[in-house]
Structure 1
Amino acid sequence: MQIRKPAVADLFYPASPEELHAYLNSVMFEPEKKIKPKALIVPHAGYVYSGEVAAKAYSLIDSFDTYIVMGPNHTGLGAEISIFDGIYQMPFGDVEPDIELIEAIAKNEYAQIDYYAHLQEHSIEVQLPFINYISKKPYKIVPIVVGTHNVAKLYSMAETIAEIVRNANKDILMVVSTDMNHYEDQTITLMKDKDAIGMLKQLDENGLMRITQLKGITMCGVSAAYIAIAAAKMLNAKSCQIVEHKTSGDVSGDYTKVVGYLSAYIE
């Protein structure tokens, strides 16, 4: 089985297991009641910028057996829709793949078992410490890097994933790893993010794809969000609840060129 070594440890999050655990302890909290939504939407920047936004949503989430973690392809490497069937090696230990689910999803004509799209891609890696932290039982992952905006392919993937989740004899959470609008000023980013969030709240995956293209909203994980929204609706999801929305400017104090960060869940 192939092993993918950490690409952004000590860049996006602490590489030391002790420092990483201490950080997670500092940002995570225990809610009155844990929830089991169908999908989670969380950011993937360096923890100093987006970690608290992600933590507010992850803190609400109960343990699952398998996490289907979908993120964008920032590197351009590998297949358009790439599933990795090896081990994600992390500072806290190895994260095992759910081979049964991976093989089932890979039967979709648009998906491929592929290593290269995952090699240097950070969007999935940065979610794993949070997933490990909230998991009170053994778990596995299905890591999917999505590098296409073709809605026919994305909808087909949603159908495949929804059918597998519906028929699986285990708890499965879809995790969408995405940042929102990139590198415009605070005012523009808040306006653009509001438009995208409006489509998320309506569970309108086609509207989300349209508005991001029409208004130039650089939401990097929009295709992963499309799959998750469509699949969640096939699984009878009724709402998208926004947990937190901030920008990098709220951390750095520089509002001239910011990135938007959102956490939300679909139930």
Structure 2
Amino acid sequence: MGAGGGQINVAPERTMMSNTLRPPAVAGLFYPENPAELRAWVRAALAEAPAHPPARYLIAPHAGWIYSGEVAAAAYRCIPPGIRRVLLMGPVHRVWTPGLALPTVDAFLTPLGPVVLDRAAIAALATLPGVTLDDLPHRDEHCIEVHLPFLQSVIGDFTLIPAVVGGASPAMVANVIEACDDGRTLILVSSDLSHYHDYDTAKRLDAQTARHILSLDDHLVGEQACGAAAINGLLYYAKRHGLGAELLDLRNSGDTAGTRDRVVGYGSFALRPAA
């Protein structure tokens, strides 16, 4: 058992047998579509990322890899051995959902192959307050997809619980984490930080946001991080279970592959049981 306890029981009557795949929406746009090129990119990014102690609770960015992939790699390097499942939560960019939306498909497809969903867990989570089954918010959403090739490369075989978070409260998100946190599940929140400020302004704002995250302040807003709702839920859960946060990397697109007049901020964080 991990930091959480009281995992919910599966409700078989809610299981939906769709036998379908969610195809890639941003392969070739946000990350390489060619499998060999993709694997080489992952190897290089992981090799250059700084080493940190293992952590099962992570926050990582989700922009195009040339902009945020190196920052995200710092989080992926923290993934401990023995992970068998990933709860991956991120914001809705295209189709709003009032709480958390989970898909009904059987797998998410990437250029490296399918990532099978934990359908039994998804069916059980759908009984929680604020959680719905809805494929539409996932169809064109990139915040989950861009992490999957890295996770496939680092973990290998695992099952996935992908959740997009719209208007969910921190308590709603924390309840989902609680239900999934069995000691062998990676909890990964997908979020970028500030958007479209000049370089110096973004550096200042993102440093402030990082301080809020490190202090487990679960009152972030969308202007600070597009995944604020999911981050707030993780921080709420962290306070409930005595986790502390560490900053792994903090940069923006002006540091990686973009101009410095309008940048997007990226941060990677790890949360672990406090000493």
- Which TM-score tier does this pair reach, normalised by the shorter chain? 0.7 to 0.9
The residue that corresponds to 2:235 in the other structure is 229
Shift in Å, 1:124: 0.3
The residue that corresponds to 1:250 in the other structure is 255
For residues 129 and 253 of structure 1, do their structure 2 counterparts lie closer, same or farther at Cα, with a shift above 3 Å needed? Answer: closer
1:54 equivalent to 2:72? Answer yes
Which is helix-richer, 1 or 2? 1
Q: How many Å separate the matches in 2 of 1:147 and 1:178?
A: 13
The residue that corresponds to 2:139 in the other structure is 119
Q: How many Å separate the matches in 1 of 2:250 and 2:197?
A: 16
The residue that corresponds to 1:200 in the other structure is 213
The residue that corresponds to 2:6 in the other structure is none
> Does the 8 Å contact 1:108/1:157 carry over to 2?
no
Cα RMSD of the aligned pairs, angstroms, is: 2.1
Q: How many Å separate the matches in 1 of 2:62 and 2:218?
A: 20
1:147 equivalent to 2:166? Answer yes
Scaled by the length of structure 2, what TM-score is found? 0.85
The residue that corresponds to 2:95 in the other structure is 76
Shift in Å, 1:145: 0.4
- What's the secondary structure of 1:71's corresponding residue? strand
Deviations 1:10-47 (A, max 9, x none): 00000111110011111113999874424111011111
Q: How many Å separate the matches in 1 of 2:263 and 2:48?
A: 30
> Does the 8 Å contact 1:78/1:116 carry over to 2?
no
Scaled by the length of structure 1, what TM-score is found? 0.87
Q: How many Å separate the matches in 2 of 1:34 and 1:247?
A: 21
Structure 1 runs of 4+ aligned residues shifted over 3 Å read 30-36, 77-80
Picking from 1, 10, 19, the partner of 2:37 is 19
Picking from 102, 121, 125, the partner of 1:105 is 125
- What's the secondary structure of 1:145's corresponding residue? strand
Number of residue equivalences = 252
Segments of structure 2 that go 5 or more residues without pairing to the other structure are 1-18
